[in-house]
Structure 1
Amino acid sequence: MKSVSFRNDDMAWDIAALILTPPDFDETKTYPTIVAVHPFGSCKEQTSSAIYGKALAEQGFVVIAFDASYQGESGGSPRWVESPAQRVEDVSHVIDYAVTLPYVDADRIGGIGICGGGGYVLNAALTEKRIKAVVGITPVNIGLLFREGFSNFDPRGALDAMAAQRTGEARGKDAQVNELLPLSPEMARENGLTERDVFEATEYYKTPRGHQPGGATRMLFSHAQKTLAWDGFNFAETLMTQPMMVVVGQKIGAFGAYRDGLEIHGRSTSSKERHLVSLEDWSHYDLYDKDEPVGLALEQMVPFLKEHLS
């Protein structure tokens, strides 16, 4: 695994990434390559590289797992901005970098993403046709989540509060950086925050199981307005032309991945080939790192990606 950073001509900051390579990697050869997109509130060192990136590299793929702009080790200011438009554009920036590498086959590039990253990579594939096959793993349509649970089902009220906060910050007020999760599973229990996705996210991000310094689980409140007006699946009926796969767990939680995965699969009628992998007895966060559900996902993903990036 190699750490890199790069900046394209139309970027104002560097993107930080990890490049994972297959066993017996030979720089004089070319390889099918996967761009791996991390979840909302996550970073490249977590599931996108450590779990799925590592497994796909072992299967013969080059994998580029990167930190989103404004997050992790990537540049961009202010920090902890969750910008769907930028997150999707980051995918294209990573592909711009990938195609300059002599060992990347520019005609065999795929994309995977987990959670919010799944929604982003599926959205990127609608217009980024250098992606030849795409997999959304427990994908979340972040715009819908913000309009619902993350705004307490009051998106207009949230927008008014964001507007007031941004005006205050422009006039010198301290930034409002929201912590998205309880600080520990114990705190979650004490405060009755035991809904499946909230609690399991806390178990992942706030314990040694998944914690990484770059996975801040924070959001700059004043810069989240445009997220509420974003929809990751717009125009999927006509623009999702590539082969696609969606992996979901049937244990449903508040972040909506099961619903969102079924929606994008159902709407992508223009896709050359589409697959829905629905795993009984597993949840959203089980698919981040637990051996059995991840193994079941990879049993479907690896042949799919090999077939379409051959």
Structure 2
Amino acid sequence: MNIKKVTFRNADMAWDMAALVLLPDGFDDSKRYPTMISVHPFGSCKEQTSSAVYGKALAELGYVVIAFDASFQGESGGLPRYVEDPTQRVEDISRVIDYAITLPYVDETRIGGLGICGGGGYILNSALTEKRLKAVVGITPVNVGRLFREGFSLYNPIGALEAMAAQRTAEARGAELQVNELLPPSLEFAKENGLTERDVFEATDYYKTPRGQAEGGATRMLFSHAQKTLSWDAFAFAETLMTQPMMAVVGQKVGAFGAFRDGQEIYGRAVASKDRKLVDLENWSHYELYDHPEAVGQAMDKVAPFLAEYLK
């Protein structure tokens, strides 16, 4: 497998996007390959699970894989930094496809998508309107809008919106930007302060230790610019618009971020899908599905034949 680091800018963009292009062994640039767009989680970056784990696994199956940094995050451009805007995240996917189809070795009739955590919600949402995607997979997918309306706002979405409005007004008048850190700084801090809920603790173990830590994976969010997230629903209109084959992979070791619930929901709602599948893995948690070899292996055992049916 060969990895190329690229930047690109489409005609309608005001900043560059950064991506890793993973090429399969034996790559021949005179041939055309099925291609996967790999979408990183909320608070993550392209160097983490979207390329190093799932991107690698897909490239080993013979796909060209494009793992990219979201706008305002990682090495991609866009100001202010650390904006998590679901509409922008979904538009990023279309812009990456725009880039992909300019590559002579990408077969535009065989493009699929895979996303992890929030990226899973984004790739599933993208498929509702982005019909260049021929099949999509959400690995432990999270509907970020639901999560913000619930746990991330302490089940007080109106209070959160009012606080965001006040902070944005203050910043427009010159106040310092409020960038929130979303996780405990270390496992020790989490233990000492009782932050041991499964998803919170395992996220800290992934993002704040050498296991998954990466410079671009900031786990930060600009508080004042997150308002639109609370009115967004990854699965809105899925009953009508999710026509492509789709798969959701979830683990039964449930945590507070709600991926098990969200995977069940999109599977239940995607009644228009040509082929919908739910993979329910008994012994694994949300963050074990990021990089635990056995958990990822079990997921890929289901993902590989599913994608092969529609993209190979």
TM-score, length of structure 1 as denominator length: 1.00
Match of 1:79 among 58, 81, 86: 81
Matching of residues 108-123 of structure 1 within 5 Å: 108-123=110-125
CA distance, structure 2, for counterparts of residue 59 and residue 152 of structure 1: 42
1:110-259 map, 5 Å:
110-259=112-261
Aligned residue type for 2:110: R
Paired amino acid for 2:112: G
Q: CA deviation at 1:306?
A: 1.0
Tell me the matched-pair count: 310
C-alpha distance in 1 between matches for 2:50 and 2:42: 11
Distance 2:22 2:255 in 1: 31
Say which SS state the counterpart of residue 134 (structure 2) adopts: strand
Aligned to 1:12: 14
The match for 1:262 is 264
Residue of 63, 66, 70 corresponding to 1:64: 66
| Partner of residue 294, structure 1 | 296
**Partners of 1:59 and 1:158 in 2: CA distance:** 44
- 2:105 matched to which residue of 1? 103
Opposite residue 234 of structure 1, the aligned amino acid is A
Q: Deviations for 1:16-66, whole angstroms, at most 9, x for unmatched residues?
A: 000001100000000000000000000000000000000110110000000
User: SS state of the match for residue 251, structure 2?
Assistant: strand
Distance 2:64 2:229 in 1: 31
Determine the C-alpha separation between the residues in 2 that align with 1:224 and 1:239.
26
Aligned to 1:25: 27
- C-alpha displacement of 1:281: 1.1
C-alpha deviation, 1:113, in angstroms: 0.1
**TM-score, length of structure 2 as denominator length:** 0.99
User: After superposition, what is the alpha-carbon deviation per residue over 1:198-225, rounded to whole angstroms, capped at 9, x for unaligned?
Assistant: 0000000000000000000000000000
- CA RMSD across the alignment: 0.3
Supply the distance in 1 between the matched residues of 2:39 and 2:240 (Cα, whole angstroms). Answer: 23
Q: Secondary structure at the match of 2:170?
A: helix
1:271 matched to which residue of 2? 273
Q: Distance in 1 between matches of 2:87 and 2:111?
A: 21
Alpha-carbon distance between aligned partners in 1 of 2:301 and 2:284, rounded to the nearest angstrom: 15
From 33, 55, 58, the counterpart of 1:53 = 55
Partner SS for 1:132: coil
Offset of 1:234 from its aligned partner? 0.2
Cα shift at 1:84: 0.1
**Residue identity in the other structure for 1:154:** N
Quick one: distance in 2 between partners of 1:22 and 1:274? Answer: 27
Shift of 1:260: 0.3
Deviation of residue 240 (structure 1)?
Answer: 0.3
Which letter does structure 2 place at the counterpart of 1:229?
S
Q: Within 2, Cα distance between the matches of 1:7 and 1:144?
A: 31
Q: Write the letter of the residue equivalent to 2:272.
A: S
1-side partners of 2:270 and 2:60: how far apart? 30
- Cα deviation per residue 1:140-174 (whole Å; 9 max; x = unaligned)? 00000000010010000000000000000000101
Distance (Å, rounded) in 2 between the aligned partners of 1:306 and 1:94: 22
Q: 1:306 corresponds to which letter in structure 2?
A: A
- Secondary structure of 2:135's counterpart equals strand
Aligned-partner residue type, residue 278 of structure 2: L
Instruction: Please name the residue that 1:92 is paired with.
Output: 94
Partners in 2 of 1:141 and 1:170 — Cα distance? 30
Which letter does structure 1 place at the counterpart of 2:106? V
State the distance in 2 between where 1:72 and 1:297 align.
27
1:173 is paired with a residue whose SS is coil
Percent of pairs with identical residues: 75
The letter of the residue matching 1:308 is Y
